[in-house]
Amino acid sequence: MVMHEAFIDTIERKTAVVGVIGLGYVGLPLILCFAEKGFTTIGLDIDGKKTAALMGGESYIRHIPSSRIQAAVEGGLFTATTDFSMAARCDAVLIAVPTPLNKNREPDVQYIVAACEAIAPHVRKGQLIVLESSTYPGTTDEVMIPILERGGLKVDRDFFAAFSPEREDPANKDFRTETISKVIGATSPQGLAAAEKLYGQVVVTTVPVSSTKAAEATKLVENIFRAVNIALVNELKTTFMKMGIDVWEVIDAAKTKPFGFMPFYPGPGLGGHCIPIDPFYLTWKAREFGVSTKFIELAGEINNAMPDFVVHRVMEVLNESGRSLKGARVLVLGLAYKANVDDMRESPTFHLFDRLEAGGAIVDYNDPYIPVITETREHARYTGRRSVPVAAGYDLMLIATAHDEYRSIDFSRFHIPIVDTRNVLKGTSPCFHKA
């Protein structure tokens, strides 16, 4: 039996062991899907606290219930470990690690490199290695495969390699891992068939493309599309505010058109691990080919300027009430980058903290989903800061995240200005100000 047929046979018989590197917002729900379909799974992560919690049946991601983890562990189908030699036991290894930007806004693939180097000594014949991390076109071929081949094995002769971009949207009530189609690109038709068979066990449909580069580019296009359109409505917001027009009302009216329009909404900046980062992976790679991606870079400039716009608006509102930013007590509502999740990765709220405190404000935050700020790569100085109650004693409150909890608060009882960047209040408060 040839290699890809043997791999497919293990999938069909559910004897294949599936490994996932990186047990975060992407890796954890993915590995649980395989366990729930009856596959033995091994989760690999460098964080021993995470693996210990998981083996105790405890979830550290709010929208993933502990009951799913408990069932997988107790059923003997899920093991979490920091021992990367366990990759040798896996028939498929899926890599879902972060891909941030460095301080120069250039791709930082150190986590991909580290994951590949950790498993390279344990790669064996017949395995399928899939990269899921969002990255620039060429990463699978130029970074992952050369590391995996160091031991003498060769791609498509001894093992398969593929790229399948993650499409997680935490806490989305309409879509979850299993119901989102999966784009897959591989380095050979046999590798593609193997990867399609694997993912076909847990997702509604697979979408094969011609190469790993095409799959990598697909992810970037998805997020560049969103980044550019968000930049557009952010620019429209600042323009319409000068004209006395409510951009939220305009968008709600425009989206009644049944064709040719898709609503996007403004905010205090971009957050999450994808949209603020992925576009710059392409702008960086494009320079290698002598191409300037002006449209993408302009969108980035507009989105990156939104925290400054919001803070300027806060200063205006404080001035109207006879206060300056210096010495003002400001409560920021929402640290998570999107509503109703506990994910603070790349949250624009951190940039609001920076700018408000640089202006002399005394800043607290409230977030019902994030009681304490854990260590982050770029905002370590906020580690340990705790969420405080929404209460009196502040000069201004700034709504940065549209958590459902904020919609039920009667802000009028505080008798202070409320600056709303997310249209949570929809103008219902007498002290309401848009930003």
Q: Both 274 and 161 in a single domain?
A: no
Q: Both 181 and 210 in a single domain?
A: yes
Q: Both 277 and 197 in a single domain?
A: no
Of the pLDDT bands very low, low, confident and very high (cuts 50, 70, 90), residue 171 is confident
Reply yes or no on whether the pLDDT at 288 is more than 80: yes
Domain assignment present for 228: no
pLDDT of res. 106: 86
Per-residue pLDDT, averaged over 232-244, amounts to 96
> Range of 76's domain?
3-215
What's phi and psi for 429, nearest 5 deg? -90, 135
Reply yes or no on whether the pLDDT at 94 is more than 80: yes
pLDDT of res. 272: 84
The stretches of 334-403 forming alpha helices (DSSP H) are 348-358
Per-residue pLDDT, averaged over 109-113, amounts to 97
Domain assignment present for 220: no
Per-residue pLDDT, averaged over 94-100, amounts to 95
Closest CA to 30 of 82, 72, 89, 75: 72
Which helix H or strand E contains 18, and what residues bound it?
A: strand 17-21
Question: What tens digit of pLDDT does each residue of 32-89 get?
Answer: 999 999 999 999 999 999 999 999 999 999 889 999 999 999 999 999 999 999 999 9
- Helix (H, G, I), strand (E, B), or coil: what is residue 398? strand
- Write out the two tokens for 277: 């980062």
How many domains would you assign to the chain? 2
Q: Both 64 and 198 in a single domain?
A: yes
- Calculate what percentage of the chain has a pLDDT beyond 90: 90
Q: How far does CA 8 lie from the centroid of its chain?
A: 31
Q: Both 202 and 324 in a single domain?
A: no
pLDDT of res. 430: 60
Q: Both 206 and 94 in a single domain?
A: yes
Do the strands 182-186 and 160-163 form a parallel or antiparallel pair, or are they unpaired? antiparallel
Mean pLDDT for all residues in the chain: 95
The Cα 24–Cα 279 span in angstroms is: 22
Pairwise pLDDT comparison (1 vs 7), residue with the higher score: 7
Per-residue pLDDT, averaged over 353-377, amounts to 96
Domain assignment present for 194: yes
Query: Of 158, 180, 215, which one is at a domain's C-terminal end?
Result: 215
Query: Of 215, 250, 280, which one is at a domain's C-terminal end?
Result: 215
Q: Both 203 and 245 in a single domain?
A: no
pLDDT of res. 313: 96
Record the pTM.
Answer: 0.93
Q: Both 177 and 285 in a single domain?
A: no
Which helix H or strand E contains 43, and what residues bound it?
A: strand 40-44
Domain assignment present for 225: no
Per-residue pLDDT, averaged over 304-332, amounts to 96
* CATH code: domain of residue 122: 3.40.50.720
- Residues 6 or more apart whose Cβ sits within 8 Å of residue 157: none
The Cα 184–Cα 168 span in angstroms is: 15
- Helix (H, G, I), strand (E, B), or coil: what is residue 258? coil
Which position among 33, 90, 116, 274 bears the catalytic label? 274
Buried b (16+ CB within 10 A) or exposed e, 369-386: bbeebeeeeebeebeebe
Scan for tokens 């999966």, then name that residue. Answer: 182
Per-residue pLDDT, averaged over 248-262, amounts to 97
Domain assignment present for 231: no
Reply yes or no on whether the pLDDT at 186 is more than 90: yes
DSSP state of 177: G
Domain assignment present for 389: yes
Of the pLDDT bands very low, low, confident and very high (cuts 50, 70, 90), residue 176 is confident
Query: Of 152, 185, 215, which one is at a domain's C-terminal end?
Result: 215
Domain assignment present for 224: no
pLDDT of res. 429: 60
- Residues 6 or more apart whose Cβ sits within 8 Å of residue 37: 14, 201, 202
Q: Both 15 and 135 in a single domain?
A: yes
Length of the chain equals 435
Domain assignment present for 223: no
Q: Both 263 and 351 in a single domain?
A: yes
116 is catalytic: no
Q: Both 136 and 250 in a single domain?
A: no
Do the strands 160-163 and 418-420 form a parallel or antiparallel pair, or are they unpaired? unpaired
pLDDT of res. 169: 82
The CA-based angle 298-132-173, given to 5 degrees, is 80
pLDDT of res. 378: 84
Per-residue pLDDT, averaged over 294-305, amounts to 95
Which helix H or strand E contains 206, and what residues bound it?
A: strand 206-208
Per-residue pLDDT, averaged over 426-431, amounts to 68
Q: Both 153 and 257 in a single domain?
A: no
